Chains A and B, each alone.
Chain A
Amino acid sequence: MLINNTSSERNNISLLERLIRDAYTPLQSGVVEFKDRFGSFNTYFSSKQLLRQELDSLKEQNQELLMENQLLREDKMEVRRLRSLLGFQEISLQKYEMVAARVIARSPNNWYRNIVIDKGLDSGIEKDMTVISPRGLVGRVASVSRDSAHIDLITHREIAVGAIVQENRETQGIVEGLGNSNLLRMVNIPYYSTIKPGNNIITSGLSESYPKGIDIGIVKEVELQPDGILLSALVEPAVSFDKLEEVLVVINYYPEVLPPEDNDVEEIGG
């Protein structure tokens, strides 16, 4: 009966579970600290030439990003003007209040894959909040204790996210985790969709829990489902969960209030 009661998601974990997790949090955080220090100790002894090469490469990358940033800033202004002209609701990350957290532990067994972060109830984190990283969607908060939270990754079977293909913006579907595998499956795609391997899958924003436009992954394979009217696609997650060190938890969402229509016309006209 206990197994059955805890097989589905629970709103709250028991006091005993909370105590066990709180006992582990300082130890797991300590390991991360130790790794950080040990890492910098290693760097000190690394070859200078290697570091110089890395620095040159980063400088070059920085220049390219600065250029790209200028162009994107210009595009952003244009998109904002067009959106207000068309009366579209703007969806951007600025409307999400986020808390940064460090990954301090991972699942200790092979059966359920999750991560543990070093922020919990004290930092305003609650169950079901969305977790992202600069590379893309990570998952959802499964349970929270005082100083830590367990995150179900998007590869978890119980997570389903509304998604679209970034290239054509038309193909919609639902991305689901495959459980034990490190891959995702996008289902409910109409047979006439132009989805193909290499396409980028992003969140559609249909569900308010997930910000629109967050990278989910890249299409690896597309196949026709047995019913013959729907397609399904195998998606490789954008985030490398094994290397994840820091994440952002969306703790609040502020829907944008649209400006009156007259003002929009004036702005565009001016």
Chain B
Amino acid sequence: MRYFVLGLLPFMAIFLQSTFFSTYSINDALPDLVLIFVVFFAFLNGERKGAIYGFLCGLFEDLYLGRFIGVSALSKAVTGYIIGRMQVRFFNENLLVGLMIVFIGTILNSFIMFIMGWSVFSVFNLDTSIISGAIYQSIYNVILAVPVYIWYYNSTQKGVLSSTGER
């Protein structure tokens, strides 16, 4: 059940982003629900699992988009790894810590995406809209992360995402 839910989360995230959230952007910036799930998973499960889950979620997103397959997979894997490394340094029970991690994760992921897109494939223009887009997305993600973190944390403790007896 745990793995099924972990697989369902990125599927539902892309569905919501492409239908509901795509019409409610903040200054043209959309949230990244897939990233929120990757960040939470990495923060609660460590760098190794975080990197693997980030890679799989990013790859799924890439396959849906059909372009630059691997860019999201790599950026989310690296983000998952770095956020996972922070697991031992912070108390994950605290909601504010969860929100701070989402903010850092979003900025980090945008930075990696931008570096890959700009230096390797010359996809993006180097202008201020990229930076402001990343900041607005971070704010949007933090707002959405409030209910998601409460649900996610509780589920990992005693709900569908709990690892006891499910592995």
| A residues with CB within 8 A of B | 2-3, 5-7, 10, 13-14, 16-17, 20-21, 24, 27-28, 31-32, 104-112, 114, 116, 142-143, 150, 157, 178-182, 242
Contacts and interface: CB of A to CB of B under 8 A. Distances in A.
A109 B18 CA distance: 8
Which 10 A-B pairs have CB atoms at the shortest separation, nearest pair first? A108-B17, A106-B22, A105-B18, A3-B70, A6-B69, A108-B18, A31-B19, A2-B70, A108-B14, A17-B63
A28 B12 CA distance: 11
11 contacts: A2-B70, A3-B116, A10-B66, A17-B66, A105-B18, A108-B61, A108-B65, A110-B29, A111-B123, A142-B67, A180-B127
Interface in B109-124: 113, 116-117, 120-121, 123-124
A157 B123 contact: yes
B15 interface: yes
B20 A111 contact: no
Contact of B121 (A3, A24, A106): A3
Interface stretch (B47-55, B82-90, B129-137, B147-155): B129-137
Contact of A178 (B28, B70, B125): B125
Contacts of B120: 3
B64 interface: yes
B67 A6 contact: yes
Residue of A13, A20, A31, A114 with highest tally of chain B CB at under 10 A: A20
Nearest to B14: A108
B20 to A, nearest CB: 7
Contact of A180 (B15, B20, B61, B124): B124
Interface in B1-30: 14-15, 17-23, 25, 28-30
The dominant DSSP class at the A interface is mixed
Contacts of A31: 19-20
A180 B133 contact: yes
Interface of B: 14-15, 17-23, 25, 28-30, 32, 60-61, 63-72, 74, 113, 116-117, 120-121, 123-125, 127, 129-130, 133, 137
Given A7-B67, A31-B19, A180-B127, 10 more contacts: A2-B70, A3-B70, A13-B66, A17-B66, A28-B19, A106-B23, A107-B18, A107-B65, A142-B67, A180-B130
A203 B123 CA distance: 25
A147 to B, nearest CB: 15
Nearest to A21: B64
Nearest to B15: A27
A1 to B, nearest CB: 9
A189 B63 CA distance: 39
B67 A110 contact: no
Nearest to A143: B66
Nearest to B71: A3
A110 B30 contact: yes
Contacts of B113: 111
Given A24-B14, A28-B15, A142-B66, A105 B29 contact: no
Nearest to A29: B19
Contacts of A109: 17, 30, 32, 61, 65, 72
A242 B125 CA distance: 21
A110 B113 CA distance: 11
Contacts of B60: 20
Contact of B18 (A3, A24, A179): A24
A198 B106 CA distance: 39
Contacts of B123: 7, 111, 157, 179
A13 B63 CA distance: 9
A36 to B, nearest CB: 13
A2 B23 CA distance: 31
A178 B117 CA distance: 15
